[in-house]
Structure 1
Amino acid sequence: MSTPQPGPSSAHRPATDPTYVVAGHRVDRVGFGTMRLHAVPPQYTDAVPVLRRAVDLGVDHIDTSGFYGPGTANEAVRTALDPYPEDLLIVTKVGWTPQFSPAFAPQQLREAVELNRRTLGLDTLPMVNLRLDDRLHARPESIDEPLGVLQAEQEAGRIGRIGISHAPPPSMCAAPAPSPTSPACRTSTTSRPLAMTP
């Protein structure tokens, strides 16, 4: 599997502000999302040059997931960018199926982590977000079990940092989290909160 390598992208990275630190990387607020890449053909003819050009122009983090495709978006990322530049943060997510229905059962989460590792070609996923839904928004205490599963994956070395996506600030600020995840409330440029681990 891949080990991040130094890349030329940092030479082209604009000194944009604001930036913030995610999983030990200082990144711009706007990254590159791969949700629409799930429909690319097997050879990823269109996706590969787009991904490479995005990184050349200074994109420093990519948001992707094994449930896009399933796996095809991740495979396009791997085809285009592996070996990954050391200053590029790959953020993936778990908690949903390719049909965009919740998948929070422990075995589903473990299989999702493994799918992301395999399709991205990474031994350790730098950052994994638990993707919530409206049902969990109303019951923030219900994130304890899925976060516990991800924490176990983290302790096993398969995940670097754990985050939470699609959670409103009141829920996340009130939600108890198993140590050492301890989510904190942050808000993206689209006003969708993002909770990051320290």
Structure 2
Amino acid sequence: MTSVTADASGQFMIDGALPVNRLGYGTMQLTGPGVWGPPADPDEAVRVLRRAAELGVTLFDTADSYGPSVAEPLLRRALAPYDEDIVIATKAGLTRQGPDTWTPVGRPAYLRQQCEMSLRILGVERIALFQLHRVDPDVPLEDQVGELKALKDEGKIAHIGLSEVSVEEIEQARAVASIASVQNLYNLATRTAESVLDHCERHDIAFIPWFPLATGGLVRSGGPLETIASRLSATPSQLALAWLLHRSPVMLPIPGTSSIEHLEQNVAAAALQLTDEDMTELTSAVTAPS
């Protein structure tokens, strides 16, 4: 059993007001295949969530579309009544028509409906961080963010986030409301969001990288991180997370897993100290677009 907790990752103040430990947890993997339907073992999913909280994870990222309506109820079952340091970040704006099928819907009435549903399902009076899961190209961005601002003004959400956006879209959104977080695909092997990350760092906006472990070639046995991991007495997955934590002070990785063993390994990455030389070696070990 690991003695390392997520406290070792340090803290970040989301929107300058909401403290979280930087290493969080993402709930997408707690659903069925294709992010569709319930997990094979819901009781184990609850145990994983509770163990995450025991290990000092305070930021739990979820969405109404995970399942759909599977991950949010699991969070409530596992963690409610919530400790005061627990931050539930949920999302709306993607609809589901089947396994691995995602369709953006950003109509204001729909976003409001899903916010109300998440409030009820999670069992909270206000959502700490409510994120636009995708920008709907058929709805003006200012209307989508404007509805989130209205919900914030009504006290139903505390902070507004975006997902899979460009620098230009962030700035369009910031003209309407304060933006607390951005969640884009980013990991050691996929760094196409580098300019977005740099923009977030300049403006002290939390950057939440989804798919932080780039499962597959990056962390497989014989993969590009294995030699470095062996030298540092770590696993390739731990190196990938440590690299993210060291990459930027606004980085909030949210690795997900349905295994307590893997959860504990991920949390242990918070204590992994990397030198500047380690960072350079890791960055150059994986060919990634910038």
The TM-score, its normalising length taken from structure 1, stands at: 0.77
| Matching residue of 1:20 | 12
| 3-state SS in 1 of match to 2:179 | coil
CA contact (8 A) 1:61 1:91 kept: yes
Name which one, 1 or 2, has greater alpha-carbon Rg: 2
| Matching residue of 2:179 | 183
1:100-115 equivalent positions in 2, closer than 5 A = 100-115=102-117
Aligned counterparts of 2:22 and 2:165: Cα–Cα separation in 1: 18
Aligned counterparts of 1:116 and 1:164: Cα–Cα separation in 2: 17
Number of equivalenced pairs: 180
1:1-198 equivalent positions in 2, closer than 5 A = 13-17=6-10, 19-23=11-15, 24-39=17-32, 40-41=38-39, 44-99=42-97, 100-133=102-135, 136=137, 142-173=140-171, 175-179=172-176, 181-183=177-179, 190=187, 193=196, 196=205
Q: Tell me by how many angstroms 1:53 deviates.
A: 0.5
Bigger drift between 160-169 and 80-89 goes to 160-169
Aligned counterparts of 1:162 and 1:34: Cα–Cα separation in 2: 19
Q: Tell me by how many angstroms 1:176 deviates.
A: 4.8
Percent identity, aligned pairs only, is 32
Q: Tell me by how many angstroms 1:102 deviates.
A: 0.5
Q: For residue 183 of structure 1, what is the amino acid of its counterpart?
A: I
Aligned counterparts of 2:125 and 2:40: Cα–Cα separation in 1: 23
Aligned counterparts of 2:110 and 2:181: Cα–Cα separation in 1: 26
| Matching residue of 2:265 | none
Q: Tell me by how many angstroms 1:171 deviates.
A: 3.3
Q: Tell me by how many angstroms 1:162 deviates.
A: 0.9
Q: For residue 34 of structure 1, what is the amino acid of its counterpart?
A: T
Aligned counterparts of 2:106 and 2:175: Cα–Cα separation in 1: 16
Aligned-residue CA RMSD (Å): 3.0
How has the CA–CA distance of structure 1 residues 92 and 106 changed in structure 2, closer, same or farther, with 3 Å as cutoff? Answer: same
Q: For residue 160 of structure 1, what is the amino acid of its counterpart?
A: A
Q: Tell me by how many angstroms 1:163 deviates.
A: 1.2
Aligned counterparts of 2:64 and 2:80: Cα–Cα separation in 1: 16
Which consecutive residues of structure 2, in runs of 5 or more, have no partner in the other structure? Answer: 33-37, 207-290
| 3-state SS in 1 of match to 2:90 | strand
| 3-state SS in 2 of match to 1:172 | helix
CA contact (8 A) 1:172 1:185 kept: no
| 3-state SS in 2 of match to 1:119 | helix
| 3-state SS in 2 of match to 1:58 | coil
Q: Tell me by how many angstroms 1:34 deviates.
A: 0.8
Q: Deviations over 1:58-86 (max 9, x none)?
A: 21100001111221100000000001111
Q: Tell me by how many angstroms 1:154 deviates.
A: 1.3
Q: Tell me by how many angstroms 1:41 deviates.
A: 4.7
CA contact (8 A) 2:164 2:183 kept: no
| 3-state SS in 1 of match to 2:103 | coil
Which consecutive residues of structure 1, in runs of 5 or more, have no partner in the other structure? Answer: 1-11
Q: Deviations over 1:67-115 (max 9, x none)?
A: 1122110000000000111111110111111341001011211111012
CA contact (8 A) 2:21 2:56 kept: no
Aligned counterparts of 1:106 and 1:187: Cα–Cα separation in 2: 20
Q: Deviations over 1:22-41 (max 9, x none)?
A: 15222233311111223235
| Matching residue of 1:8 | none
